Chains A and B, each alone.
Chain A
Amino acid sequence: MKKYTDTGKKDTRSGFGAGLLQAGKADSRVVALTADLKGSLKMDAFADEFPNRFIQCGIAESNMVGAAAGLAIAGKIPFIGSFAEFVTGRVYDQLRQEVAYGKTNVKIASSHAGITLGEDGATHQTMEDIALMRALPEMVVLVPCDYNQTAQATIAAAKYNGPVYLRFGRPSVPNFTDPDQPFEIGKAYVLNEGKDVTIFACGHTVWESLLAAEALEAEGISAEVINVASVKPLDEETIVASAKKTGKAIVAEEHNMAGGLGEAISGVLAAECPTRLGFVNGADRFGQSGTPSELMKAYGLDAVGIAAAVKKLVR
């Protein structure tokens, strides 16, 4: 099993903040907007470095989407930042008409996604955002797995000409990917090669999947782990090749079943390579208050939950 080292726990939202600053330095067209969540989105460094290119919108997300569309039409590269629920569900129609429909170059920085938002509870914990964003034509959906990859995904989003939904989170999690590896939209990353089963994951479940694979190896099960950080477009070639090799797969995500990565991969495999699948996700539930690790455990999204799902599938 390939070894990955946690170089120190960091939150993926800070990876976004670092990537935004780098993207801003590389391209003067990059501007950042937030709806009263500059600190939570880790936009402080960008705002300090480029005060004229940081645009505070107040608690008015719908307007923020429209204003960002105007800035993008005029040639800027706007990143709009808020909590995942408030930059998706709350503004779905605005994203649809102002951003996706005209392929307007707006980047949606979506923080505190999933149940690991934690103690604030279900009003703030979206488990439906990937579904909403995948449903929009023209929308690219990226769910990087750690600090380093989120920074790189932010830089890649700035370079891409078109709408991007960039999902990341609040809690500190292991940081283990190569900080210098450029992010490729449309690419799935094979983190560990295996022969008995494939675990497809994105975001916070990627590290948990690596831990699960390690535990499974001790029990004689060889698991391939693939980081599907580009949820849309999907790297169909890599996904199909792995399913052909292992014949069984689990899809693990911090999102509900409807419209998530699990259904995206099901669609590809049903058409190209019918494969027995298992799913580790929030099913069809709302979140609740708790610490991020308590919630990951309770919803079965941690390494233990993933390993159990694999064993059920391969048995």
Chain B
Amino acid sequence: MSIQTLQKTASQVRRDIIRMVTAAGSGHPGGSMSTTDILTALYFSVMDHDPKTWTRDGKGQDQFILSAGHLAPVYYSVLARSGYFPLAELGTLRRMGSLLQGHPSVRRGLKGITQASGSLGQGVSVAAGLALAKKLDGDPHRVYVLCGDGELEEGQIWEGAEFATHHKLGNLIGMTDWNGQQIDGSVESVCGGGDLEKKWQAFGWNTIVADGHDFSAILDAFDKAKALGAETSRPSMILFKTDMGHGVDFMAGTHKWHGKAPSAEQCQAALAQLEETLGDF
């Protein structure tokens, strides 16, 4: 997919996020918008996957685990736009009986979801287990996992990091949404931050730092991670520098939109800044 098409797709995904969260009256737009470009690149250019033959066990395909489960809106949008389920489902987010639970669930059988998430810090472990299974089974595909930077405060992340290095999981590629914001404020002010690159390196991971809103940088980072993983048999972490709420001026760069739905007026103001490229759901 060309960079221009990826940009157009991302604009539509951001519209989806705003419209879904506004309709639901709650949800997490901020992080969804900071990771929109990353997940758009992942689902439309990077991963070897096929919604038609997808199964939860991931055999014969690349797999994705969303560790930061509150990024459900962007996840649901890229899944629907990839063809995993009808676009109309997006309008049901967080409603009673919906397949689109507030945080991703596998209980209702929503196609494309490999594992539930919401309680933070657990996705690296699950992704490492999936990657280890691929290694044991001789499946050359990769496993991708996305974490928030605030989420890295969870201790289990680092248990998973150590495990993945020890078991030589060169087929595991992590992504950190390095937007610098979490619920209570900036990551630096709350209880985290520091040199994330050195932290991951200390646990034996290859690291790449990239602009998470520049598609050519994003694609380049994934290419490097794939090559490094194969070369070193070590997992790789791409630290994507992003802005929370990216794409809408009044939502960008602040923690205030981490978990808040726009009002009807704010929704219209936001949509005015995002081109409708593929048709709203």
9-residue interface stretch from B14-22, B124-132, B203-211: B124-132
Main secondary structure of the interface of A (DSSP, over half): helix
Q: A69-B129, A97-B119 are in contact. Are A58 and B166 (CB under 8 A)?
A: yes
Q: Given the complex, which residues of A lie within 8 Å of B117, measured CB to CB?
A: 97
Let me know if A73 and B122 touch, CB within 8 A.
Answer: no
B interface, size bucket = 35 or more
Q: A55-B132, A73-B57, A74-B134 are in contact. Are A60 and B126 (CB under 8 A)?
A: no
Closest residue of chain B to A74 (Cβ to Cβ) is B133
Cβ-based interface call for A98 (8 A) = yes
0/1 per residue, B128-170, Cβ < 8 Å to A? 1111111011000000000000000001100110110011000
Q: Given the complex, which residues of B lie within 8 Å of A130, measured CB to CB?
A: none
Q: Given the complex, which residues of B lie within 8 Å of A78, measured CB to CB?
A: 129
Let me know if B162 and A58 touch, CB within 8 A.
Answer: yes
Q: A60-B162, A60-B163 are in contact. Are A70 and B131 (CB under 8 A)?
A: yes
Let me know if B57 and A75 touch, CB within 8 A.
Answer: yes
Cβ-based interface call for B192 (8 A) = no
- Bound CA span A10–B159, Å: 35
Q: A58-B166, A70-B127 are in contact. Are A76 and B133 (CB under 8 A)?
A: yes
Cβ-based interface call for B59 (8 A) = yes
Cβ-based interface call for A7 (8 A) = no
Would you give the shortest CB distance from B104 to chain A, in whole angstroms? 10
Q: Given the complex, which residues of A lie within 8 Å of B114, measured CB to CB?
A: 73
Q: A74-B58, A75-B57 are in contact. Are A66 and B119 (CB under 8 A)?
A: no
- Bound CA span A184–B150, Å: 46
Q: A55-B132, A63-B159, A102-B107 are in contact. Are A73 and B56 (CB under 8 A)?
A: yes
A interface, size bucket = 20 to 34
Let me know if A67 and B156 touch, CB within 8 A.
Answer: no
0/1 per residue, A86-118, Cβ < 8 Å to B? 000000011011100111100000000000000
Cβ-based interface call for A57 (8 A) = yes
Q: Given the complex, which residues of B lie within 8 Å of A30, measured CB to CB?
A: none
25 A-B residue pairs with CB within 8 Å = A55-B132, A58-B159, A62-B155, A63-B160, A63-B162, A65-B125, A66-B122, A66-B124, A66-B126, A66-B160, A67-B129, A67-B132, A67-B163, A71-B129, A71-B132, A74-B58, A74-B129, A74-B133, A74-B134, A76-B133, A97-B118, A98-B115, A98-B122, A102-B106, A104-B115
Query: Which chain A residues have a beta carbon within 8 Å of chain B's beta carbons?
Result: 31, 52-53, 55, 57-58, 60, 62-76, 78, 93-94, 96-98, 101-104
Query: Which chain B residues have a beta carbon within 8 Å of chain A's beta carbons?
Result: 56-59, 105-107, 114-119, 121-134, 136-137, 155-156, 159-160, 162-163, 166-167
